């Protein structure tokens, strides 16, 4: 897998230049998404896994085709949105300043403020905007564009948004819009990575930014172990408490320390493995022409492990799990540092998914033993 970086504004975009492995990599993105979002394992998405996609835009377009079509059968999500209109009869509550202005202008109409249950809300606007952008993306296949155009017909009364103005962190999901969570995550991948060109409204999209793939990579590994390693007693993204006391035996100063948030925290009995999933351009640094593990990464995982292993049992281990890059040398090593195992290895996302699965299973077996066996 050849990996190139290009700077675009404040974002570093990652472009994958792959030959024979291109289809495998894109299919693996789908498998990773399937673990991250369980809804993709439903029957209406089965055909996507069997398709060959030229690029990741086609994959996203196919997922939205299936997902939005399914949502249309159930009905688009509606929510109350505020309206402000001038009406002949009162609706909701009167907007007094607006009504006074009308009277001054000898207009007998009432300015009213009311809430209306509408499909023209932020969630549907994001869906429409994303599909609209994909239809105009020169890299999306004609088949996928045709499917998107069919579902866009049902979004006629829904407004478009400026992608740069979407506040992704303010989206909330509840019981009646839970089906939108996966779809809007796909939209985020599309819109946040999309770059408008200077050519008459045409769009192009970076395959993924490092930030997008890093989030997906972390969630995929966590969900893989949660779903496939049920013999583990704990699989979560845990926060680790600092093992610190001040001179008086209290920990009042701890509020000044940052939160230690792990990517993947695995436990079986009293044995713990903390995995720090790393998706980045380099797995190693060079110091005096000697390749070594990146200092900040090894310090971070070591800090997690030592603070978790407060009683110095040696039963807490740490692993830096990198997505494999095209570097000539990649880490596959383990050290006993201060009584705890600290390791680093890579996961090749350009391999058949069965190989990726076997590698993840092998990591769990190395630290916890085979399923059904006690260490």
Q: How many CB atoms lie within 10 A of CB 234?
A: 12
SS3 340: strand
Longest Cα separation, the chain: 86
Token readout for 78 is 């509606």
Q: Which of 64-73, 82-91, 322-331 has the lowest mean pLDDT?
A: 82-91
The CA distance from 316 to 307, in Å, is 10
Nearest to 265 by CA among 207, 225, 227, 307: 225
Helix axes 122-135, 56-74, angle to 10 degrees: 140
Q: pLDDT-based confidence at 210, cuts 50/70/90? A: low
Q: What is the pLDDT of residue 342?
A: 96
Domains in the chain (CATH in brackets) are 2-77+122-206 (no CATH), 79-118 (no CATH), 212-368 (3.40.1350.10)
Q: What is the pLDDT of residue 104?
A: 54
Those residues with Cβ within 8 angstroms of residue 74's Cβ, 6 or more apart along the chain or in another chain: 179
185-190's contacts with Cβ under 8 Å and 24+ in sequence apart are 185/36, 185/37, 186/33, 186/60, 186/63, 186/64, 186/67, 186/130, 187/64, 187/126, 187/127, 187/129, 187/130, 188/212, 189/60, 189/216, 190/57, 190/60, 190/130, 190/133, 190/134
Most confident residue range from 66-70, 98-102, 293-297 = 66-70
Query: DSSP characters for 174-220?
Result: -GGGTTHHHHHHHHHHHHHTEEE-SSTT-EEE-SEEHHHHHHHHHHH
217-243 pLDDT, tens per residue? 999 999 999 999 999 999 999 999 998
CB 322 within 8 A of CB 282: no
Indicate the average pLDDT of the chain.
83
Q: pLDDT-based confidence at 21, cuts 50/70/90? A: low
Token readout for 336 is 């006993």
Q: pLDDT-based confidence at 250, cuts 50/70/90? A: low
Those residues with Cβ within 8 angstroms of residue 180's Cβ, 6 or more apart along the chain or in another chain: 71, 77, 123, 127, 173
Q: What is the pLDDT of residue 43?
A: 72
CB 161 within 8 A of CB 125: yes
Nearest to 135 by CA among 61, 207, 76: 61
Is the pLDDT higher at 160 or at 15?
160
> Beta partners for 95?
none
Phi, psi for 263 (deg, rounded to 5): -80, -50
Those residues with Cβ within 8 angstroms of residue 124's Cβ, 6 or more apart along the chain or in another chain: 76, 77, 155, 158
- pTM of structure: 0.76
> E strand or H helix at 5, and its extent?
strand 2-8
Q: What is the pLDDT of residue 246?
A: 65
The CA distance from 79 to 210, in Å, is 34
Token readout for 212 is 């997008």
* CA distance to 19, 241, 262, 281, 330, per residue, from 327 (Å): 17, 35, 26, 9, 6
Q: pLDDT-based confidence at 69, cuts 50/70/90? A: very high
Q: What is the pLDDT of residue 289?
A: 79
The CA distance from 96 to 103, in Å, is 10
Residue 103: pLDDT above 70? no
How much of the chain exceeds pLDDT 90, in percent?
A: 47
Most confident residue range from 198-207, 303-312, 347-356 = 303-312
Those residues with Cβ within 8 angstroms of residue 145's Cβ, 6 or more apart along the chain or in another chain: 61, 134, 135
Residue 89: pLDDT above 90? no
Q: pLDDT-based confidence at 119, cuts 50/70/90? A: very high
330-368 pLDDT, tens per residue? 788 999 999 999 999 999 888 899 999 999 999 999 999
Q: Is 122 exposed, middle or buried (0-12, 13-18, 19+ CB in 10 A)?
A: middle
* CA distance to 211, 238, 280, 367, per residue, from 274 (Å): 21, 9, 19, 11
Q: What mean pLDDT comes out for the span 206-221?
A: 77
Q: pLDDT-based confidence at 202, cuts 50/70/90? A: very low
The CA distance from 202 to 196, in Å, is 7
Is the pLDDT higher at 331 or at 295?
295
The CA distance from 137 to 201, in Å, is 9
126-180 pLDDT, tens per residue? 999 999 999 998 889 999 999 999 999 999 999 999 988 899 888 988 888 888 9
């Amino acid at each position: 897998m050849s990996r190139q970086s290009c700077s675009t504004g404040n974002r570093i975009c990652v472009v994958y230049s792959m030959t024979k492995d291109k289809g495998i990599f894109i299919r693996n993105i789908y498998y990773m998404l399937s673990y991250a979002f369980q809804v993709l394992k439903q029957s209406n998405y089965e055909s996507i896994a069997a398709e060959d996609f030229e690029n990741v835009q086609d994959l996203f377009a196919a997922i939205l085709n299936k997902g939005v079509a399914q949502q249309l059968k159930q009905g688009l999500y509606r929510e109350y949105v505020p309206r402000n209109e001038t009406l002949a009869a009162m609706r909701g509550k009167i907007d007094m300043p607006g009504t006074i202005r009308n009277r001054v202008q000898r207009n007998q109409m009432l300015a009213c403020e009311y809430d209306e249950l509408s499909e023209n809300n932020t969630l549907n606007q994001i869906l429409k905007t994303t599909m609209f952008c994909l239809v105009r993306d020169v890299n999306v296949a004609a088949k996928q564009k045709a499917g998107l155009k069919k579902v866009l017909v049902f979004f006629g009364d829904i407004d478009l948004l400026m992608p740069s103005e979407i506040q992704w962190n303010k989206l909330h999901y509840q019981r009646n819009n839970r089906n939108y969570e996966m779809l809007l995550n796909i939209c985020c991948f599309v819109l946040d990575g999309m770059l408008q060109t200077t050519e008459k409204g045409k769009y192009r999209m970076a395959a993924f930014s490092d930030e997008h793939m890093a989030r997906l990579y972390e969630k995929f590994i966590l969900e893989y172990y949660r779903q496939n390693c049920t013999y583990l007693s704990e699989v979560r993204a845990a926060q680790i408490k600092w093992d610190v006391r001040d001179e008086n035996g209290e920990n009042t100063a701890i509020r000044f320390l940052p939160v230690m948030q792990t990517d993947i925290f695995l436990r079986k009995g009293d044995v713990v493995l903390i995995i720090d999933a790393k998706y980045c351009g380099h797995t190693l640094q060079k110091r005096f022409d000697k390749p070594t593990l990146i200092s900040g990464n090894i310090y971070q995982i070591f800090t997690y492990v030592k603070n978790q292993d407060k009683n110095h049992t040696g039963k807490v281990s740490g692993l830096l799990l990198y997505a494999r890059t095209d570097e000539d040398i990649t880490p596959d090593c383990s050290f006993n540092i201060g009584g705890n195992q600290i390791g680093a290895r890579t996961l090749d996302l350009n391999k058949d998914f069965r190989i990726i699965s076997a590698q993840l299973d092998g990591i769990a077996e190395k630290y916890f033993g085979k399923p059904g066996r006690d260490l």
